Structure 1
């Protein structure tokens, strides 16, 4: 299965495109690094100069590699905090985020006596999903590269049940702390297609960075956020890593194999 940050997982069609354009890929990222270094160290100050390979690189990215990737499936990473019951449900069927699903999950916690009805109501009423439905509803957000559990971007998601849909606007510190005690931190590997919107384009950028690094350019695959929506019914859970298990604290370091070498 394709891991966008790991060239050894690329199929023959992807490798053919990358091999045919290796000089351009290396030149673009090397030039980018040089221009940024000159910009940051300029005295007197100089604006960032345009990359002379940008047009050719963009054409390769948008018109050649992205259409190839749109036909493939990849592994992406989802960072969350779930109860054991919720993990079992997700392994059977991945349900996208929504206000109605948040309410269903809150109702389950109330029924178990974990939250009171008042606490459940407060969490629901303050959910950012009420005003940010367009960027959050009916999709599952993932990332294209594995991140360590202490990464600043994912640590809050691992630390609070319900993620941003539940804790983001809570001012009640006692209730926010309660969300930290529900369930366990989980890092979930998901196999997904790339038919959604700009997903193939986003993954193409990660693959280009990975290939440039392989060629010796001074670049670290940063990855990108990926929202699974239209093809969510085709997505499947591959592995669930739970806090306390061996691989959880070594993700992006020793797991998957060669992760630290390829990502840093």
Structure 2
């Protein structure tokens, strides 16, 4: 018998081009980061990556990114649910506004947020009498990261919701399940992989965000400095090895967190497959 024909011809050429493209765009730049940081001694590397300002930036960057991704997962799901399951006036406008953080330049978003939430801004002025400050605080960083990450969750969950048949919910209800039981035991397992994917995308975007954050953060040392700003500061000081050392730490931590999230997503998908 002759060998089965491949669905796509030129597999070897396609795979070779893919690996070459991936190497040039992703692997070589990442290797360069680690190679440049390797020029430092262990002591220098440790000092560059564990300075008090750098440690404070780690806590703010990763903490705010995780919290922003969590907030976006909850409210992004609710927004996607409303857009898919309900009809209301201005639905198309709301659906279009979801993509605004995609299209809006990050610097413009940062300036707009800083203007609105500064002590003299529209919202900041209303909160000032209650001694609530958003701009130039870690809360402002969280706000900016939540703003830029929301579309990732909505656009990831929305197609899955559209593909879910309402008959599944109706069948569970007819069997006596309450609304919370339908959501927890029927809908949530089916939506969990998409929610985890949206969470991972929102987190990854937030960790590397720079333009929309620096304007509203105020960049106060040990308070509202993010790690990407520390890298830029090192580059401005011509400390390229120090900048790549901090970048290497960010890469390792981000990869570890994303690896964990992807494993949870794969576990959830396998669990759904066994249940199905």
TM over 0.5, yes or no? no
Question: Greater Rg, structure 1 or structure 2?
Answer: 2
TM value normalised by structure 1? 0.23
TM value normalised by structure 2? 0.23
**Greater helix content:** 2
